[in-house]
């Protein structure tokens, strides 16, 4: 069994999202807590800006959750930058036990999975899950210096300048993390760095298929099935291949990378990507929809492309991974 | 309380170590399961060699533990390479749920902490903890291309070409993981990339002080206190500052980086380092000493320097982290 049901489902007691100008100009702009049009957040390098976004997101999440100094008891965090410096430097000042994660764009779900399991088991009363990405630090590291002005392929996605932080707690009134399913590394041979959606879709399909097969649930049992950042290409592949496997997700399936930007108006090609994409969409938009009662029960899968520019030059393909989190308005949502 | 006591201490049922030629020529050489004098492990790039070391280490650990196909149920792994490709590519073929970690040289302990907590809580029956480093991939990424022939500073350490894998299980006859203490990020302002020991020592001191203060134990209550890879410099700092805090660790304290090489004969300056250093020393040397009955009760702290060449160029200092694992021959070792 890969599905892990949480005996004591932790509640999201506070969450916050911090984004750049482009993300604020998009259709979800009003749902984010804080934005900086310049994307610098007052820092003199993009890497420092990304760390600052994580710091701001965690600070805001703690404030919104009315948390005392004893919160969080532990931090689970990571980002896309080499040595995960967005997290290491951004969260240094909180002086809390820290687990550094690397799951590429799946990191926010990976953090939520681990935090939820350890709270449910009683090791911690609360935990923070945090992740971020920054368009400018990601372009510099993974693709070209911004000054080069590289042309973008039609299947390319836009790395979101965004951070999201959630405080999970053993007490609280929901929404609750009721089930999780840790992902496996899946590699179907995609080696096109401009098509991350295709590289990650097989991992999403593996995770979703395992979930439905083990639980006996159907896509229609959920208000929403939301992948992290497959974008237009990966979303289409996932929808089609899941249908072939007998799981019709039409009408119930969406993707954070498609929600974040106005695709036709904002020139982002296949949509958003990056660790901060799904982190901010969940901590901003989705949590607000839960608060309004619009959502009761969703599956959230953050998908990560474990892509390495160095290894690609050595002929490697791009492995993907997708960690699943079920979020429910009711504590015993999984019984429903 | 930062110390987490494991209600159902998981047992190490299999472990394996894979090393390069220099590590095999060192004083612990006979304790390692597999070595390749060339350090290539049959691969045409150093990065592929490191992945292959992780694959071999996990395969060997599973074989030595006489594990069936249902083991491991989950993998916790990471390494020093950008995007943690040693783990992602090396462990891809095992097709198991995977949590990617980034804790620099603390990764093996981080993996052991998380795996042990989740097994003790009943989420998994068993788990694998794996980490690696490779001198040549690390030099290329963090310092200079090998061809440059850079001079090494007296305080420099030698990144071990080594991998270690441990299979933790809810059943088994020990040794057992009986307590863990997740580390905090600590930054005391060291910015000398040639002195990782000094950068990591404050984190080790923070973790050890928290452990002794909370448990009321003294250093002499343990057969061995073993840090990951502080080397000569970090070992001396830790010994001295712990003594100042009232914890005299003389005679009971050693460091994996000091054990791995013949320091005077092997030209490694301050000793070994890298994720694979403590992973291989624990999975090779230390587990054999437990099997012989020479060790009954130890504290193992893997120390990580969350050092980023990119961020250092922007003026950052080097944060460190140290995760603690108590390993006991007896299941209720923590009662002793």
As a whole number of angstroms, the distance between CA A117 and CA A121 comes to: 6
**Choosing among B5, B73, B102, which should be mutated to test the A contact, i.e. which has the most A CBs within 10 A?**
B102
A141–chain B nearest CA distance, Å: 10
CA distances from B152 to B149, B155, B308 (A): 9, 8, 19
B122–chain A nearest CA distance, Å: 9
B191: how many CB neighbours lie within 10 A of its CB? Answer: 13
Whole-number pLDDT of residue A65: 97
Q: What are phi and psi of B156, to 5 degrees?
A: -70, 155
**Choosing among A2, A54, A98, A179, which should be mutated to test the B contact, i.e. which has the most B CBs within 10 A?**
A98
Interface touch A98/B321, C-beta < 8 Å: yes
> Which residues in chain A are closer than 8 Å to B114, comparing Cβ atoms?
99, 114
As a whole number of angstroms, the distance between CA B148 and CA B135 comes to: 15
3-state secondary structure of B272: strand
A143–chain B nearest CA distance, Å: 14
As a residue count, chain B comes to 336
**CB B160 within 8 Å of CB B273:** yes
As a whole number of angstroms, the distance between CA A102 and CA B104 comes to: 11
Distance from CA of residue A260 to its chain's centroid? Answer: 12
> Which residues in chain B are closer than 8 Å to A308, comparing Cβ atoms?
81-83, 85, 88
A82–chain B nearest CA distance, Å: 5
The alpha carbon torsion through B327, B328, B329, B333 (nearest 10 deg) reads -160
Interface touch A110/B100, C-beta < 8 Å: yes
Q: List, as one string, the DSSP characters of A261-313.
A: S-HHHHT-TT-EESHHHHHHIIIIIIHHHHHTTS-SEEEEEEEEE---HHHHH
CB contact set of B23 (below 8 Å; sequence gap of 6+): B29, B32, B35, B160, B161, B162, B260, B261, B272, B280
A321–chain B nearest CA distance, Å: 8
**DSSP letter, residue B285:** I
**Choosing among A181, A182, A313, which should be mutated to test the B contact, i.e. which has the most B CBs within 10 A?**
A182
Nearest to B41 by CA among B89, B112, B74, B97: B89
Closest residue on chain A to B314 (Cα): A45
Output Rg (C-alpha) for chain A, integer angstroms. Answer: 18
From the number of C-beta atoms within 10 Å of its C-beta (0-12, 13-18, 19+), residue B33 rates as buried
Q: Which runs of consecutive H residues, i.e. helices, occur in chain A?
A: 21-25, 46-64, 85-91, 107-120, 135-142, 196-215, 231-244, 256-259, 263-266, 275-280, 287-291, 309-313
As a whole number of angstroms, the distance between CA A150 and CA B244 comes to: 56
pLDDT-based confidence at A326, cuts 50/70/90? very high
| Strands B176-181 vs B253-255: parallel, antiparallel or unpaired | unpaired
Output Rg (C-alpha) for chain B, integer angstroms. Answer: 18
**Whether pLDDT at A296 is above 80:** yes
Interface touch B184/A95, C-beta < 8 Å: yes
Q: How many CB pairs under 8 A join A and B?
A: 149
Whole-number pLDDT of residue B332: 79
Nearest to B184 by CA among A75, A165, A78, A108: A75
Cα within 13 Å of Cα(B160), Cβ side: 41
pTM: 0.98
Q: How do residues A213-260 score in pLDDT, each as one tens digit?
A: 999 999 999 999 999 999 999 999 999 999 999 999 999 999 999 999
Q: How do residues A94-149 score in pLDDT, each as one tens digit?
A: 999 999 999 999 999 999 999 999 999 999 999 999 999 999 999 999 998 899 98
Backbone torsion region of residue A39, taken as left when φ is above 0, otherwise alpha when ψ lies between -120 and 50, otherwise beta:
left
Cα within 13 Å of Cα(A15), Cβ side: 32
**Whether pLDDT at A6 is above 80:** yes
A292–chain B nearest CA distance, Å: 33
Interface touch B321/A184, C-beta < 8 Å: no
From the number of C-beta atoms within 10 Å of its C-beta (0-12, 13-18, 19+), residue B117 rates as buried
**Whether pLDDT at A292 is above 70:** yes
3-state secondary structure of B127: strand
**Choosing among B1, B124, B185, which should be mutated to test the A contact, i.e. which has the most A CBs within 10 A?**
B185
Whole-number pLDDT of residue A228: 97
A56–chain B nearest CA distance, Å: 18
3-state secondary structure of A25: helix
As a whole number of angstroms, the distance between CA B197 and CA B297 comes to: 25
As a whole number of angstroms, the distance between CA A178 and CA A175 comes to: 9
**CB A230 within 8 Å of CB A278:** no
3-state secondary structure of A243: helix
As a whole number of angstroms, the distance between CA A21 and CA A209 comes to: 37
Among B96, B123, B310, select the one facing A47 at the smallest CB separation. B310
**CB B222 within 8 Å of CB B297:** yes
Nearest to A27 by CA among A291, A268, A306: A268
Interface touch B100/A96, C-beta < 8 Å: no
Domains annotated on chain A, with CATH: 4-169 (3.40.47.40), 176-331 (3.40.47.40)
Task: Tell me which H or E stretch contains A320.
Answer: strand A320-328
Q: List, as one string, the DSSP characters of B15-45.
A: EEEEEEHHHHHSTTGGG-SEEETTS-TT-SS
Distance from CA of residue B201 to its chain's centroid? Answer: 15
Whole-number pLDDT of residue B264: 83
> Which residues in chain B are closer than 8 Å to A78, comparing Cβ atoms?
102
**CB B147 within 8 Å of CB B36:** no
pLDDT in tens, chain B (336 residues): 899 999 999 999 999 999 999 999 999 999 999 999 999 999 999 999 999 999 999 999 999 999 999 999 999 999 999 999 999 999 999 999 999 999 999 999 999 999 999 999 999 999 999 999 999 999 999 998 899 988 889 999 999 999 999 999 999 999 999 999 999 999 999 999 999 999 999 999 999 999 999 999 999 999 999 999 999 999 999 999 999 999 999 999 999 999 999 988 998 999 999 999 999 999 999 999 999 999 999 999 999 999 999 999 999 999 999 999 999 999 976 555
Interior angle at CA A316, CA A311 and CA A319, nearest 5: 95
Interface touch B114/A104, C-beta < 8 Å: no
Nearest to B208 by CA among B239, B233, B175, B187: B239
As a whole number of angstroms, the distance between CA B75 and CA B56 comes to: 15
**DSSP letter, residue A260:** S
Closest residue on chain B to A187 (Cα): B92
As a residue count, chain A comes to 336
Interface touch B319/A88, C-beta < 8 Å: yes
> Which residues in chain B are closer than 8 Å to A122, comparing Cβ atoms?
121
Among A47, A98, A185, select the one facing B311 at the smallest CB separation. A47
3-state secondary structure of B84: helix
């Amino acid at each position: 069994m890969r599905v892990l049901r949480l005996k004591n489902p932790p509640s999201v007691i506070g969450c916050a999202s911090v984004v750049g100008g482009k993300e604020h100009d998009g259709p979800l702009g009003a749902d984010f807590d804080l934005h900086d049009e310049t994307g610098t957040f007052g820092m003199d390098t993009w890497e420092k800006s990304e760390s600052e976004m994580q710091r701001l997101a965690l600070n805001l999440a703690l404030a919104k959750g009315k948390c005392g100094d004893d919160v969080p008891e532990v931090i689970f965090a990571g980002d896309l930058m080499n040595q995960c410096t967005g997290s290491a430097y951004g969260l240094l000042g909180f002086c809390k036990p820290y687990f550094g994660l690397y799951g590429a764009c799946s990191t926010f779900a990976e953090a939520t999975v681990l935090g939820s399991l350890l709270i449910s088991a009683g090791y911690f009363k609360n935990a923070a899950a945090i992740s971020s990405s920054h368009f400018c630090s990601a372009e510099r590291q993974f693709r070209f210096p911004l000054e080069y002005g590289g042309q973008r392929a039609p299947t390319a996605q836009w790395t979101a300048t965004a951070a999201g932080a959630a405080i999970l707690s053993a007490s609280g009134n929901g929404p609750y993390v009721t089930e999780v399913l840790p992902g496996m590394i899946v590699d179907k041979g995609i080696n096109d760095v401009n098509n991350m959606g295709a590289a990650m879709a097989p991992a999403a399909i593996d995770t979703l298929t395992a979930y439905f097969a083990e639980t006996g649930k159907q896509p229609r049992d959920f208000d929403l099935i939301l992948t992290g950042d497959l974008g237009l290409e990966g979303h289409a592949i996932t929808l089609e291949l899941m249908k072939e496997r007998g799981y019709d997700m039409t009408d119930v399936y969406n993707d954070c990378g498609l929600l974040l930007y106005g695709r036709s108006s904002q020139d982002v090609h296949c949509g958003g990507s990056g660790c901060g994409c799904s982190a901010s969409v969940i901590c901003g938009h989705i949590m607000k929809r839960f608060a309004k009662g619009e959502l009761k029960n969703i599956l959230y899968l953050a998908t990560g492309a474990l892509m390495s520019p160095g290894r690609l030059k050595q002929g490697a393909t791009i492995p993907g991974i997708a960690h699943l989190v079920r979020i429910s308005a009711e504590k015993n949502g999984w019984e429903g």
